[in-house]
Amino acid sequence: MSSSPWEDLKTVLKHAEEAQAAGDRARAYAFYARATELDPNHLGAWLGRAATTSDLDDAITSWASARALAPDHAEAREQLDRHVTQKIQESTIEQVESLISLSRWLADVGQKSSAYVLVKRATELDDTNEQGWIWRAGLTDNPKEMISALNQVLALKPDNQQAQAGLEWALAFESGAPPSSPDAAEEASRLVEQGQAALQKGDKTQAHELFKHATELDAQNEQAWLWRGGTTADIDDALTCMEQALAINPENEPAREARAWLRVKKLRESAKAQAEVLPPTTRAPTVGMPTVSSADWRRNRGTILAIFIIVLLIVFLVFVLRMQG
């Protein structure tokens, strides 16, 4: 059975390049957008999409995706900075949620500095936005600013557990102080060992709860964050855990590699989500946009499974090294 040209990456890119050369930006964009859906790791597809889109937010995410794939790409870096600056200059209080959403997306693909300036602008426009302050706290490199942002969250919502836990960690990290209880560090270490034992028995849910409790007891326990991130089903939580582990020890290679793989997975999911909301007017006029086929699902499922296995292998290596030490 012959496949549709709309399913073949080379054909789609050929049509995109021809349309772009002919000056038909809308048609070129439709094909480039399809190409990023077919292969979220194709640099040329993201560059073409970024160059032909008429939407500022889409331009930002496309240039960011290109830069995530090629960190040293000069044009991607310059264009991302230019479009982020434009977004900041044009935004009003009505665009606060858009700023936060873009900031989260950029953070997920590793563009932390761009993510930070967007969420900073969001909190400047609306200082009552709880999520804006939480994300600003998570993206700043300044411990004092992190503490200030988390205090803003608690002023808006005193029972925000995420802000409470983050503030406790930030205060401990800034001062280098020991955990709140003299026995907390020792108990956290015991919980990590119990979590490892539960994981060996195949009880991932129980293991995750133990690792999570360990991080709550001792926010400076590097291994607790690493294991918690390796057992959660939530990508955002896993990324946060790896960031926490790296904040404690920037040389933690397993955490760095796991973060990289998680960002790739997030990039793929974001690309598919964008494709699902692509306006009908942007689709190519000569070929119909198909729904996701079973072959597409099997292909993506295999990629996700491979990423998950690699993350587990990294965590297992940490466990083996710990046992040998």
What CA–CA distances, in Å, run from 66 to 12, 46, 49, 61?
18, 6, 10, 9
The end-to-end CA distance of the chain, in Å, is 56
**Cα 216 from chain centroid (whole Å):** 23
Residue type, 164: Q
What CA–CA distances, in Å, run from 2 to 6, 7, 8, 283, 298?
12, 10, 11, 22, 18
CATH numbers and ranges of domains, the chain = 180-218+221-325 (1.25.40)
Please write the tens of the pLDDT for every residue from 221-260. Answer: 889 999 999 999 888 788 888 888 888 888 888 888 888 7
Max avg pLDDT among 54-58, 293-297, 318-322: 54-58
Alpha-carbon span 132 to 97, nearest angstrom = 8
Query: How much is the pLDDT for 311?
Result: 52
Alpha-carbon span 208 to 8, nearest angstrom = 41
Please write the tens of the pLDDT for every residue from 187-223. Answer: 888 999 999 999 888 999 999 999 999 988 888 888 9
Query: How much is the pLDDT for 114?
Result: 94
Is the pLDDT assigned to residue 186 strictly greater than 90? Answer: no
CB–CB of 180/168 below 8 Å?
Answer: yes
Please write the tens of the pLDDT for every residue from 79-96. Answer: 999 999 999 999 999 999
Query: How much is the pLDDT for 152?
Result: 94
Please write the tens of the pLDDT for every residue from 92-110. Answer: 999 999 999 999 889 888 8
The pTM of this model reads 0.60
DSSP 135-173: HHHHH-S-HHHHHHHHHHHHHH-TT-HHHHHHHHHHHHH
Is the pLDDT assigned to residue 3 strictly greater than 90? Answer: no
